Amino acid sequence: MFYGVTDLTTFILGTIFIVLLPGPNSLYVTAVASRLGVAAGYRGACGIFLGDTVLMVLSATGVASLLQTTPALFMVLKYAGAAYLAWVGLALLRSAIAGWRDKTAGTAAPEQPASDATRPFRTALVISLMNPKAILFFVSFFIQFVDPAYAYPALSFAILGTIVQVCSAIYLSALIFGGAHLAAQFRRRRRLSAAATGGVGGLFIGFGAKLANATLG
């Protein structure tokens, strides 16, 4: 046992596997980086880090367990999350259609309004808080690796949380720089960019449908 963590190796391996599973968090960051660049991608990543931190704190304090004992609360959360993911997907589809029809698009990336500077952060934060994969991870997996008899459970949760964030940061960084590399190709191929954006929008709608049918087991 390591500072109240019952099986550190299993937790690390499980976290890596779960982080690598495709989900709305990673998909959104990749899409933002490919459309708006590295800086915007990291703004989105920071929203995910904050959202995951909130979920970790709720899980560690037992608040997240209310989802298991209060089915009505879980229903409200999952349908609100499903609607938001579908809304993001529809917005991407509209952007894809506009990009496909825009015959004046040049090779340079369009200027983004100043008001959009924090949009990747806000959107990623909401997606993270309503991400079914993250909710199920922190409610059912995360808390199982803390020994309830350990005198300082906050330290145990801090260790587990740090591991999760480090794994997430490494993975999202790879996606951000990979997405930024794709951006250069997309700027030279307007319809390819529009098709990719539309595909991502469709996946978000699919994630919303999946969340609407999610259960806590």
HEC per residue, the chain: CECCECCHHHHHHHHHHHHHCCCHHHHHHHHHHHHHCHHHHHHHHHHHHHHHHHHHHHHHCCHHHHHHHCHHHHHHHHHHHHHHHHHHHHHHHHHHHHHHHCCCCCCCCCCCCHHHCCHHHHHHHHHHHCCHHHHHHHHHHHHHHECCCCCCHHHHHHHHHHHHHHHHHHHHHHHHHHHHHHHHHHHHCHHHHHHHHHHHHHHHHHHHHHHHCCCCC
pLDDT computed for residue 206 by the predictor: 80
Asked if the structure places residue 168 within a domain, the reply is: yes
Q: Would residue 99 count as lying in a domain?
A: no
Q: Could you tell me the pLDDT band of residue 163, with boundaries at 50, 70 and 90?
A: very high
Number of domains into which the chain is organized: 1
pLDDT of 211: 67
Confidence bin at 166 (pLDDT 50/70/90): very high
Containing structural domain, residue 133: 8-70+106-189
Does residue 132 sit within a domain? yes
pTM as predicted: 0.73
Look at residue 94 and tell me if it is in a domain. no
Residue 211 within any structural domain of the chain: no
Amino acid at 134: A
Lowest mean pLDDT among 16-20, 129-133, 161-165: 129-133
Mean pLDDT of 166-188: 81
The answer to the question of residue 121 being in a domain is: yes
